[in-house]
Amino acid sequence: MTGENQVRQPLQLLYDWEQREPDRVYLRQIENGQFIDFTWGQLADRVRRLAAWLRAKGYGDGERIAIYSKNTYDWFVCDLAIAMAGCVSVPLYAGQAAEQIHYILDHSNCQLAFVGKLDDATSWQEGCPKSLPQVAMYKCPLTLPESTEAIHESTEPLQDNPLLAPDALFSIVYTSGTTGTPKGVMLTVDMMTALDADEANPFKTDRRDRMISYLPLAHIAERILVQGASLVHGYTIGFAESTETFIRDLKMIEPTVFFSVPRLYTKFKQGIEAKLPPSVIAVARRVPGLRGLLGNFIRKQLGFGAVRAFIVGAAPTPPEVLHWYKTLGMPLLQGYAMTENMSYGVGATTPDYPEKSVGKPLPGVEVKISDNEEILFRGSTVMHGYYLEPEKTAETVIDGWLHTGDSGHLDDEGFLYVTGRISETFKTAKGKFINPTVVENRFGDQSLLEQLCVIGLGMPAPVLAATPSELGKTMPREEFAGAVKELVEHVNDQCEAHQKMAGVLISDVDWTPENRMLTPTLKMRRRQIDEVFRPIAQAAGSGDFVRFVNTAS
């Protein structure tokens, strides 16, 4: 801390580490299976040179500058240099659809874009206006007139330590857009300083910890839990080389704190179940000695040997996934928050929380439940508003309370339970309301299906749309269909009459951000899934209970 009760903004944090520990490694970029390390001093030097270049080119006074790249060390450099130059960063997800890229760049009035590591540059080239100046970052696949590496070699660093006004705009973070047009959440400096408060460290991280940065930095959870918190606590960040080398990279980085989304924890679980017979896993989980051996085996296989805290958030986690990891000595600590409160809201900080809850309000956060069971937040991390959208802001933040759109309840001990998205409840043709999350959660610890979504708006009865797990993909189709039918009939036995599913549609492709079935943070886009599968379900007639459908077109 710089003084009693004084909190620091991100640039102050950078200056402090630059002065105190210039030679300690902060960022580790994996390239060709080897680490490229950057100390605090080297990082600050690159930030200062890029900020000087931006100033020399006339950028400043709150002008918006885009970052379009997968996670690399250069993402951190560009983000901090934009702030040091007095500008505002506008991150975009690497792989975002062209129409959303065009909307965000236009809506935020970006004057420049940094473009970096990408799997495919097509959507960027289609969505980015030809007139927008661009600078190539690390591993940019495009040939551009300027690059951050050339700027680093040719520009002298800034010598002063500029700071931003407490109420200044630091970044505009656009929501992942599960429905409708993305909204630009204004991230201000005073919101960011909340990270430096002594009590805002629920996982007790310090400079000795290590994390891997691989979820999109364009979204709030990775931006705050990994980048933002690392600036406060000084721990080391490693960057994976590719999706294909992810497990290898995990083993190289040896994270002590691991943050992920439910889908990836589920995929890890299903990957283990595809290698080991479910009966063997079930027996091992019941026997203490075998349970420890199995847990250690899984940690070794996944590169989790040094992890002391497993964090999960950004979407609901199936209860059976939570239970599976907990019994194997790897309890997942759930969290619940939004872009609109800077991903700082509610969380479990110790393993002994009720598994169906998402934890308790974090220090400085107030939570209450409205008369219609909506979850409301209040605190210093609640946004000041959506960029250029005062009407939507007024609908979302009322008398200081952030209206989440999620339903839930608090128990007598203060634990929060999220029961669903209010807007996702739908009415069938018979006039019955269905909360799809309630039905989906009844599928429990099954290993046949990876992704599942209950649909049924305006239909006589709901239908399950799903994708097969890794195990399911290895089974003969007829055997798989029979097992899925048995599974769904078992779930139907637990449902009220109007909730019973009339059939199952098995997708021929996994749901991904690229085919718009998932958001960049791997939450289901229920509206998109419904639009694809409802016409198929309505045209099905009285065919097989389990149908394999072609959605590629």
- Tokens coding 511: 């749901």
CATH number of the CATH domain containing 356 = 3.40.50.12780
- In this predicted structure, what is the pLDDT of residue 7? 85
Within 10 angstroms of residue 457's Cβ, the number of other Cβ atoms is 15
Short-list 337, 346, 340, 336, CA closest to 393: 340
Asked, for residue 19, whether it belongs to a domain, the answer is: no
- Residue-wise pLDDT for 156-175, tens only, equals 999 999 999 999 999 999 99
Token pair belonging to 399: 């008398």
User: Quick check: 97 and 123 in contact, CB under 8 A?
Assistant: yes
Q: What is the pLDDT of residues 38-50, one digit of tens each?
A: 999 999 999 999 9
Same structural domain, 378 and 295 = yes
Tell me whether strands 374-379 and 401-410 are parallel, antiparallel or unpaired.
antiparallel
Residue ending a domain, choose from 373, 400, 422: 422
Residue 284, pLDDT score: 86
**Domain end marker among 422, 443, 458:** 422
What is the value of pTM for the model shown?
A: 0.87
DSSP 202-249: TT---TT-EEEE-S-TTSHHHIIIIIIHHHHH--EEEE-S-STTHHHH
Instruction: Kindly state the helix (H) or strand (E) to which residue 474 belongs, with its residue range.
Output: helix 470-474
Terminal C-alpha separation, the chain: 56
| Residue 15: inside a domain | no
Residue 388 lies in a domain: yes
Do 165 and 271 lie in one domain? The reply is: no
Q: Which residue in this structure is represented by tokens 């608090």? A: 410
Do 270 and 299 fall within a single domain?
A: yes
Buried b (16+ CB within 10 A) or exposed e, 328-356: bebbbbbbbbbbbbbbbbbbbbeeebebe
User: What are the CA-CA distances from residue 192 to residues 195, 353, 385 (Å)?
Assistant: 6, 28, 15
Which one, of 172, 153, 135, 154, lies nearest residue 59 by Cα? 135
Final residue in a domain of this structure, among 422, 445, 469: 422
pLDDT in the model for residue 4: 41
Alpha helix ranges (H) inside 262-335: 262-275, 278-286, 288-302, 319-327
Q: What is the pLDDT of residue 79?
A: 98
Tell me: do 415 and 452 sit in the same domain: no
Q: Strand, coil or helix: what is 31? A: strand
Query: Are residues 150 and 297 both part of a single domain?
Result: no
Residue type, 357: S
CATH number at residue 142: 3.40.50.980
Instruction: Quickly list DSSP for 404-464.
Output: EEEEEEE-TTS-EEEEEEGGG-EE-TTS-EE-HHHHHGGG-S-SSEEEEEEE-TTSSS-EE
Which residues are CB-contacts of 367 (< 8 A; sequence separation ≥ 6)?
Answer: 345, 346, 361, 375, 376, 377, 378, 410, 416
What SS3 class is residue 497? helix
Identify whether residues 400 and 435 lie together within a single domain.
no
The tally of domains found in the chain comes to: 3
Please answer whether residues 509 and 551 qualify as being in contact, where contact means their C-beta atoms are separated by less than 8 angstroms: yes
Helix (H) or strand (E) holding 338: none
Pairing, β 449-455 against β 463-468: antiparallel
- Which tokens is 120 given? 């495919």
User: Do 322 and 281 share a domain, yes or no?
Assistant: yes
User: For residue 381, is it within any domain?
Assistant: yes
* Low-confidence spans in the chain with pLDDT less than 70: 1-5, 177-180, 540-542, 552-553
Instruction: Return the closest-CA partner of residue 26 out of 49, 45, 9.
Output: 45
Mention every residue, 6+ apart, whose C-beta is less than 8 A from residue 217: 67, 71, 75, 79, 91, 223, 226, 227
Specify whether the CB–CB gap between 206 and 235 falls below 8 A: yes
Residues 336 and 399 in one domain: yes
174 touches 184 (CB < 8 A):
yes
- 390 occurs within a structural domain: yes
pLDDT at 3: 38
For residue 121 the two structure tokens come to: 């540059």
Question: 203-222 burial string, b = 16+ CB within 10 Å, else e?
Answer: bebeeebbbbbbbbbbbbbb
Q: 42 with 124, same domain?
A: yes
Domain contains 452? yes
Domain match, 376 and 516 both: no
126 is a domain residue: yes
Domain extent, residue 482, equals 425-549
